[in-house]
Amino acid sequence: MNQNKLIIGCHVSMKAPKYLLGSLNEALSYGANALMVFTGAPQNTSRKPISALFVPQFLEQLQLNQIPIDHVIVHAPYFINLANSIKTNVFQFGVDFLQKEISRCEAIGVKTLVLHPGSSVGAAKQVALDQIVKGLDAACLPGQKLQIALETMSGKGNEVGINFDEIQYIIKHVKYPQLIGVCWDTCHLYAAGYDLINQLDAIIAEFDQKIGLDKLLVLHINDSQKPLNSRKDRHANLGMGHIGFSALINIIYHPLLINKIKILETPWIKKQPPYFHEIKMIHDQTFNQAVFETLLLGKK
């Protein structure tokens, strides 16, 4: 398998004092050549101005480490819910805040923003899908270059975007389909009923036929604590869940997916990030359970 094209990173924090520069340094310490961040706390609206985020130094260090800005992904905050047709104030707040996140990403130079499609909060699924289309149409800005990657969801509660048909509908009906792509989350796909272990080629073919592999902008690589079709969003460390290490390696190195940006969102263990070890296992294509046992003992 060709490793030269592998783009593998992780979700890292962005905090004082160095903000984006600190995020990059953290990712580099794990052996990553990609990273994903929030531009502020994912659960609230507090945001530092772009001028405080060390953007010039961040961009300089990306170049020095030969990491394209395309390998930097921003995740939109969780409270944005474009699917909400029940509370118009919540919907409009989401549209307005998404516009701000788009502007912040473009000011940094980021090319991809991952967004959860949202929850219907009890409305009919079709109504929720049309509401997402309405929200994306309202949020996308004239002359926008940033692409929004709709994340595949696990199907818990009233989530929307739990299969390729729902995401296809959204992309087909927005005004600017060129601005909308997809983010696969392996845990979510598996929980939603996509058998990534036994049906990977068929799943890729279905996605390509319904949406197009050119629309697959990023993959979140996670194992799943819960079984196939559980509709539960419970991430597990690589090889420590129901998907398993071999199946995840098959996804990571699949010839049709090898050039895609891949981001680990696996759980910390005893307050220790597992990313250095997981990225090494990915490069070695060898599962090492002893690593997790060491972390469980509180050792790095």
pLDDT tens string 44-62:
888 999 999 999 999 999 9
Quick check: bond before 17 cis, omega within 30?
A: yes
Chain segment 239-292, per-residue pLDDT in tens: 999 999 999 999 999 999 999 999 999 999 999 999 999 999 999 999 999 988
Q: How confident is the model at residue 2 (pLDDT cuts 50, 70, 90)?
A: very low
Domain that holds residue 227: 7-269
25 within some domain? yes
What average pLDDT does the chain have?
96
Please indicate, yes or no, if residue 45 is contained in any of the structural domains: yes
In the chain the first and final C-alpha atoms are separated, in Å, by: 29
Q: How confident is the model at residue 4 (pLDDT cuts 50, 70, 90)?
A: low
What are residue 181's phi and psi, to 5 degrees?
-130, -160
Residue 295 lies in a domain: no
pLDDT of residue 1: 41
Please say whether the beta carbons of 10 and 263 come within 8 A.
yes
156, pLDDT greater than 70: yes
Residue 139 domain flag: yes
User: Using CA atoms, how far apart are residues 89 and 288, in angstroms rounded to an integer?
Assistant: 49
Nearest to 238 by CA among 208, 272, 204, 267: 267
CATH number for the domain spanning 31: value is: 3.20.20.150
- Say whether pLDDT at 300 is over 70: no
Q: From 62, 55, 59, 57, select the one nearest 39 (Cα to Cα).
A: 55
Residue 300 lies in a domain: no
d(CA 274, CA 251): 20
How many domains are there within the chain? 1
Q: Flag whether 279 is in a domain.
A: no
Instruction: Tell me the C-alpha distance between 121 and 159, whole Å.
Output: 8
Is 294 contained in some domain?
no
CA distance 114 to 217: 9
User: Which two three-digit tokens encode residue 87?
Assistant: 């509370």
- Whether 220 and 183 have beta carbons less than 8 Å apart is answered as yes
Q: Is 168 helix (H, G, I), strand (E, B) or coil?
A: helix
Bond before 274 cis per omega within 30 degrees: no
Write down the pTM of the prediction.
0.96
The answer to whether residue 91 is domain-embedded is yes
